[in-house]
Amino acid sequence: MFATPPRQKQRSMAARAVSNHLRNGSVPSADLVVRSGSIDVAVATFGEGTPAMFIHGWGGSAADMMPLAAAYAEAGFRAIVFDMPGHGRSTGRESSLVEFLQAMRSVTCALGAPELIVGHSFGGAAAIFGITEIGLPVRGAVLVSPAPGPAYYVARFARAVGLPSARTDGMVRQLVERVGRSLESLDAVVAAQHATVPALVFHDPADREVPFEFSTKIANAWTGSRLVEAPSLGHKRILRDPAVIAAAVEFATSVRR
The per-residue pLDDT for range 87-145, each reduced to its tens digit, is 999 999 999 999 999 999 999 999 999 999 999 999 999 999 999 999 999 999 999 99
Half-sphere exposure of 246 (CA within 13 A, CB side): 4
Over residues 39-53, the pLDDT tens digits come to 999 999 999 999 999
CATH no. of 10-149+187-255: 3.40.50.1820
Over residues 201-217, the pLDDT tens digits come to 999 999 999 999 999 99
d(CA 67, CA 1): 30
Please indicate, yes or no, whether the overall pTM of this predicted structure exceeds 0.85: yes
Percent of the chain residues topping a pLDDT of 70: 92
Domain residue spans of the chain: 10-149+187-255
* Mean model confidence pLDDT for the chain: 93
